[in-house]
């Protein structure tokens, strides 16, 4: 957009028309030559007394038409006379010093700016649309303990801190890495932070119920892919590239050219030898007629000019030979042709086979699955009706899920078309439903805890520093029991694990009244005690470490 001209500024400030400036010396006007068309007065003035070149004189610059923002011939009184925005047409624009609302602001600060009086006063502040909130994932305590506490290098507090920073700096990791300063935390590199952030996001995506299909889920997952090792290696490599001395670069280039030259000579040698063998022994040489060496003969830009010239010469040579092979129906070429057909055969067939199989399988209602290597005959699943495999919600949440299904008008006990796909869809629906029910349960639990904490707060402020020991144990007990009944969405296998995680959380939550650090270690100790049968080294658990192996 063109910037405001002097005339616009004048009209904004409600000043009169510009008077001829005093600095304009008569010297500039002196040359008898007229100002060329299309050249601004100011630019012309800058040229000074020197004669403009012919080029500027004849090349009429094609500029965009100047926007009619206002006329400079309006004096103050006249402008005030045109009060309403409706009458400001005809090249006369009224500007207003107006307060505006910035939708991107949350603090309600009011600022003012100059606007064209004709614009709608209630219009959205146009740049507000650029204030895009990045979608930073958040997780609940339950989700954290269930899926995210696997990485013992990170505590929940530090992960919270990281996510808070990522949110605050809109996912700009360089800023996050710069500002990252977790009290009493270990030193984290930028890659560590990225790795943690992306791995947490991936886990959340993978474990949360997904509304769309698998493909879109995988697409989203891949957008959160981060390979820490690779990133570190890449950075190291870039750093080493950057730190080369000019001599080293020169040497490298020389070596590269040398290498290319050697490769080419070798290839030429080989070709010559093959040629010789072919002329001497013919088919018996067992050599294919055409050597495909184009791939090697395309020297890269760094290879130097001379090589590329010779390379193209060689490739021309091979082309000629190909032509010869095509024209003369020698037994050699025939055999090679058949050989190539044979060579081409299998891959083509392989490609066709699965497609044909898929159509066949669809027609015959066949589903093939990988056979586990250690399958034995006793594991045979007898014939069944598909309706018998209709998924059922887990008994812990069954009634609530049934209620939810009723609200959604889905009959989950019997499907109209109980095909494999529909059964799978129903299953994922039930899974999502039970995780919703569990989330609601958790909300209830946390609400209760909030109420308890509020009451305690009231009690503490009343009774001074008296500690609510009874309530602490109460909270712990409740959250532990809640953890036991709210098993994970992953199925029956996870129940034990979840209960454990929740227990830790329960202790954690109850003890936060005293000291966060000490309680966490207590929680870990408890777990370790349980595992101490298999793990010999039980030391202080505050360090976390690789004692606990949870695999998913």
Partner 1 sequence: MADRVRMRGVTIHRPIIYGNTAVVLTPEEKALLPPNKQEHTHRWTVAVRSAASVPDSDIVGGADDLSYFIKRVSFKLHDTYQNPNRNVDKPPFEVSETGWGEFEVTIRISFITEAGEKTVSVFHHLKLHPWSLLVNPGELADPNPEAAAKLGPVHSWQYDEIVFNDPFQSFYNILIAHPPTPLPKHKRRPVPFHTSNPGSLEASKGGTPEFTLEMEKEEGERLEAAKRKVVAEQEKWRGILIEKEKELEKLQKMLLTEQA
Residues 505-534 that bind partner 1 (CB under 8 A): 509, 512-514
Which of residues 277 and 516 has its CB atom nearest to partner 1 in the complex?
516
529's tokens: 């005690």
Q: For the segment 367-396, give every residue that binds partner 1 (CB under 8 A).
A: 367-371, 375, 377, 380-387, 389
CB closer to partner 1 out of 95 and 139? 139
453 contributes a contact to partner 1 by CB under 8 A? yes
**Residues 6+ positions from 93 with CB-CB distance below 8 Å:** 11, 69, 70, 116, 117, 118
H or E, element range at 423 = helix 420-463
Q: Which of 26, 108, 186, 465 binds partner 1 (CB under 8 A)?
A: 465
Residue 227: which of 218, 235, 217 has the closest Cα? 235
Please list every residue from 228 through 247 that binds partner 1, using CB under 8 A.
none
Contacts by residues 267-276 (CB-CB < 8 Å, ≥ 24 positions apart): 267/293, 267/296, 267/297, 267/314, 268/314
Hey, which residues between 117 and 146 contact partner 1 (CB under 8 A)? 138-143
Tell me if residue 111 falls in helix, strand or coil.
strand
Q: Which is nearer to partner 1, 124 or 361 (CB)?
A: 361
CB 159 within 8 A of CB 199: no
The minimum distance between CB 423 and partner 1, in angstroms, equals: 10
- Minimum distance between the CB of residue 182 and partner 1, rounded to whole angstroms? 17
Closest distance to partner 1 from the beta carbon of 514 (Å): 8
When the beta carbons of 186 and 372 are compared against partner 1, the nearer one is 372
Considering beta carbons, is residue 299 or 486 the nearer one to partner 1?
Answer: 486
From 29, 230, 454, 552, residue interacting with partner 1 (rule: CB under 8 A): 454
184 is a site residue for partner 1 (CB under 8 A): no
Phi then psi for residue 112, to 5 deg, are -120, 150
Among 10, 35, 400, 456, binds partner 1 (CB under 8 A): 456
Residue 215 makes contact with partner 1 by CB under 8 A? no
Question: How far is residue 459's CA from residue 413's CA, in Å, rounded to a whole number?
Answer: 50
| Residues contacting partner 1: total by CB under 8 A | 73
Closest distance of CB 209 from partner 1, Å = 5
250 vs 366 by CB, closer to partner 1: 366
CB of 10 to partner 1, least distance (A): 53
Least Cβ distance, residue 214 to partner 1 (angstroms): 12
Place of tokens 């777990």: 527
- 192 closest CA partner among 182, 184, 183: 182
**Three-class HEC string of 479-541:** HHHHHHHCCCCCCHHHHHHHHHHHHHHHHHHHHCCCCHHHHHHHHHHHHHHHHCCCCCCCCCH
CA separation for the pair 187, 180 (Å, rounded): 9
Nearest to 16 by CA among 25, 6, 28, 24: 6
Q: Please say which residue, 62 or 377, places its beta carbon nearer to partner 1.
A: 377
Residue 300 per-residue DSSP state: -
| Contact positions with partner 1 (CB under 8 A) in 413-452 | 414-422, 425-426, 428-429, 432-433, 435-436, 439-440, 442-443, 446-447, 449-450
Instruction: Measure the CA–CA gap between 337 and 505, rounded to whole angstroms.
Output: 71
Query: Do 445 and 479 form a contact (C-beta atoms < 8 A)?
Result: yes
Q: Which of residues 264-323 bind partner 1 (CB under 8 A)?
A: none
Q: In the complex, what is the shortest distance from the CB of residue 142 to partner 1, in angstroms, rounded to a whole number?
A: 8
Residue 264 or 435 having the CB closest to partner 1: 435
């Amino acid at each position: 957009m063109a910037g405001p001209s002097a005339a616009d500024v004048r009209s904004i400030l409600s000043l009169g028309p510009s008077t001829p400036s005093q600095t304009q010396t008569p010297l500039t006007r002196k040359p008898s030559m007229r100002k060329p068309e299309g050249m601004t007065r100011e630019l012309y003035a800058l040229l000074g007394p020197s004669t403009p070149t012919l080029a500027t004189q004849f090349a009429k610059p094609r500029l965009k038409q100047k926007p009619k923002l206002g006329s400079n011939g309006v004096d103050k009184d006249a402008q005030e006379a045109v009060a309403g925005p409706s009458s400001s047409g005809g090249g006369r624009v009224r500007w207003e010093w107006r307060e505006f609302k910035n939708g991107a602001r949350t603090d309600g600060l009011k600022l003012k700016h100059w606007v064209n009086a004709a614009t709608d006063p209630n219009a959205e502040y146009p740049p507000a649309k650029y204030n895009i909130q990045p979608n930073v994932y958040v997780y609940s305590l339950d989700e954290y303990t269930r899926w995210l506490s696997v990485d013992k290098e990170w505590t929940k507090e530090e992960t919270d801190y990281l996510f808070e920073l990522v949110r605050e700096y809109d996912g700009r990791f360089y800023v996050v890495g710069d500002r990252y300063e977790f009290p009493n935390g270990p030193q984290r590199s930028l890659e560590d932070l990225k790795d943690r952030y992306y791995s947490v996001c991936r886990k959340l995506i993978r474990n949360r119920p997904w509304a769309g299909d698998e493909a879109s889920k995988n697409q989203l997952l891949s957008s959160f892919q981060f390979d820490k090792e690779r990133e570190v290696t890449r950075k190291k490599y870039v750093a080493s590239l950057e730190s080369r001395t000019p001599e080293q670069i020169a040497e490298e280039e020389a070596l590269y050219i040398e290498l290319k030259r050697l490769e080419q000579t070798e290839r030429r040698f080989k070709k010559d030898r093959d040629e010789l063998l072919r002329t001497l022994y013919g088919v018996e040489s067992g050599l294919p007629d055409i050597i495909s060496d184009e791939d090697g003969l395309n020297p890269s830009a760094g290879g130097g000019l001379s090589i590329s010239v010779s390379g193209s010469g060689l490739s021309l040579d091979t082309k000629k030979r190909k032509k010869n092979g095509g024209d003369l129906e020698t037994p050699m070429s025939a055999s090679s042709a058949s050989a190539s057909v044979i060579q081409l055969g299998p891959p083509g067939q392989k490609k066709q086979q699965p497609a044909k199989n898929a159509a066949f399988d669809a027609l015959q209602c066949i589903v093939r699955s990988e056979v586990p290597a250690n399958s034995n005959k006793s594991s045979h699943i007898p014939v069944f009706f598909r309706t018998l495999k209709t998924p059922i919600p887990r008994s812990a949440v069954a009634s609530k899920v049934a209620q939810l299904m009723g609200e959604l008008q889905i009959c989950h006990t019997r499907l109209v078309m109980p095909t494999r796909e529909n059964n799978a869809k129903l299953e994922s629906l039930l899974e999502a439903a039970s995780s919703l029910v569990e989330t609601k349960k958790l909300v209830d639990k946390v609400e209760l805890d909030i109420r308890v904490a509020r009451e305690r707060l009231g009690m503490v402020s009343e009774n001074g520093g008296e500690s609510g020991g009874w309530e602490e144990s109460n909270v712990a007990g409740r959250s532990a029991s809640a953890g036991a009944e709210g098993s994970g969405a992953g199925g029956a296998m996870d129940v034990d694990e979840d209960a454990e995680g929740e227990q830790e959380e329960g202790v954690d939550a109850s003890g936060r009244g005293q000291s966060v650090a000490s309680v966490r270690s207590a929680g870990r100790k408890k777990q370790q005690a349980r595992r101490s049968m298999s793990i010999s080294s039980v030391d202080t658990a505050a360090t976390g470490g690789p004692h606990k192996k949870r695999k998913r």
